[in-house]
Amino acid sequence: MPDRLEMRRLEVRARDRMLLDGVHMSVEAGEILALVGESGSGKTLTARSLLGLPGPRPGIVSAELLIQVDGCCHRPYAGLGPAPWSSKLLDKRFKGIRGAVVGYLPQDARGGLDPLWTVQRLVAESITLGGTSGEPADWLRRAGFDHPAVVQPLYPHQLSGGMAQRVSLAMTMARGSRFIVADEPSTGLDPTVRNGILAEIRKLADDGVGVILITHDLRLVSRLARRVVILHQGKVLEEMAARELSSATSTRAREMLLATARISGGSR
């Protein structure tokens, strides 16, 4: 049975309203699953729930997460008792999963880097944590830096947005995660850099990493992903094969996709 990650019945609440309601998805090793939806539909919340990270209070109130790697099965949310769950409890439950099994590329890549650490140290730490081999320069080169020596001594505030994305990608690759949740890794980058990053993600999937790719770019979805999950106001509107995207069945899905495409600059 191949490694896979499956989320079911995900519910996230804020004080006064439901933010995610019954979200479900699953991804297998070596597969790219796209997660699309308009701004505010809950993509980032979903990504964080896959890692047990804190969000609004009371936060995650129900979730069934099953992560199967190397014949070993993790169910971090199982038997937690009544919600809300403290972040300390979730820290304990997700120990050994975060990073090692599921990696996260945050939406705000630069904000995700320790502002007082150099790129060199950041990547070196990931190598140590992941127990992977190689020098920081090797991983940076894989993440699309032609001249790693130039970026290694830089601090995050000295990086451009695209550079920060790539450093973040290098860290996640060096960490050796089996699944990667990438939150809009291609937004705001020039086409060359974007294609570089996407090619790298493609290669990761070919190497057997399961990828959940969050994006607004529908062209990208049909090019990279096999399946796509469409989120709308915290619910799964539709789940389908990526190549059927252009013939999305439900009219609401169509409308929403068109709107998303318009917002992200008519990329369709």
| Contact residues for Mg ion, defined by CB under 5 A | 43-44, 107
Q: Which residue in the set 17, 71, 82, 116 belongs to the binding site for another protein (CB under 8 A)? A: 116
Q: Give the nearest distance from C-beta 101 to another protein in angstroms.
A: 9
**Which residues, including other chains, have CB under 8 Å from residue 184's CB and lie 6 or more apart?**
107, 214, 215, 216
Residue 126 touches another protein, criterion: CB under 8 A? yes
Residue 152 touches ligand ATP, criterion: CB under 6 A? no
Residue 58 touches ligand ATP, criterion: CB under 6 A? no
State whether the Cα torsion 256-62-48-87 is positive or negative. Answer: positive
Q: What are phi and psi of 49, to 5 degrees?
A: -65, -25
Residue 196 touches ligand ATP, criterion: CB under 6 A? no
User: How many CB atoms are located within 10 Å of the residue 49 CB?
Assistant: 24
Q: Which residue in the set 42, 59, 76, 103 belongs to the binding site for another protein (CB under 8 A)? A: 103
Residue 150 touches ligand ATP, criterion: CB under 6 A? no
Count, residues near another protein per rule CB under 8 A: 30
**Residue 34 pairs with which residues in a beta bridge?**
213, 228
Q: Which residue in the set 22, 58, 84, 96 belongs to the binding site for another protein (CB under 8 A)? A: 96
Q: Give the nearest distance from C-beta 2 to another protein in angstroms.
A: 23
Residue 49 touches ligand ATP, criterion: CB under 6 A? no
Q: What is the contact surface with another protein in residues (CB under 8 A)?
A: 48, 51, 53-54, 91, 95-100, 103-104, 106, 108, 111-117, 126, 129, 155, 157, 168, 171-172, 175
Q: What is the contact surface with ligand ATP in residues (CB under 6 A)?
A: 14, 19, 37, 39-45, 55-56, 107
